[in-house]
Homo-oligomer: A and B are copies of this chain.
Amino acid sequence: MPYGDVLDATGAPDKLINQGRCGRYHDQARLDFADGRAGISIFQSEAAHLPLRLEMMERHPEGSQAFIPMSADPFLVVVADDAGGTPANPKAFRTQPGQAINLLCGTWHGVLTPLSEPGLFAVIDRIGAGPNLQEHWFEQDYLIED
């Protein structure tokens, strides 16, 4: 997929471990860090409710960013193409229960948007010095409907 990866446990596992009791779906995210290193942080975010206005998108030029929900609740993902340094043609989707996502390095995306409490996620992204955030505020908002 051009924007990133959807991580889940569908289909046959790549490997059975623990005497056959556990399936491993192996290496599902294209982690990519220009410098620094991978780290795990915990995010706790207020929930949002549809319909909502998409006013801003952001990207991280120095690293990929994976969002792993610590609940079975779906969350909203917004990604966009890049058109000369600004996000274009935004697309929104709601994850299925049991799905995590990984955004490729430099992918325009909306901020983390859980649709229910407690909005708890583990985030695997770049730990390193220097700026790694670009924001773009739209002149005209997009409305994301249910």
Residues of A within 8 A of B (CB): 7-9, 13, 17-18, 21-29, 31, 37-46, 66, 68-72, 98, 100, 102, 111-112, 118-120, 122-124, 127
Contact = CB atoms under 8 A, between A and B. Distances in A.
A103 B111 CA distance: 30
12 contacts: A17-B43, A18-B111, A18-B112, A21-B45, A25-B42, A25-B44, A31-B38, A37-B38, A40-B100, A68-B122, A70-B100, A124-B124
A145 B66 CA distance: 36
- What secondary structure prevails in chain A residues at the interface with B? strand
B46 A39 contact: no
A44 B15 CA distance: 11
Given A29-B40, A40-B28, A118-B98, A45 B70 contact: no
Contacts of A27: 39-41, 127
Contact of A39 (B29, B98, B100): B29
Contact of A112 (B9, B22, B72): B22
Given A9-B120, A120-B98, A44 B22 contact: yes
Given A72-B70, A98-B70, A40 B9 contact: no
A44 B23 contact: yes
A66 B68 CA distance: 12
A1 B62 CA distance: 31
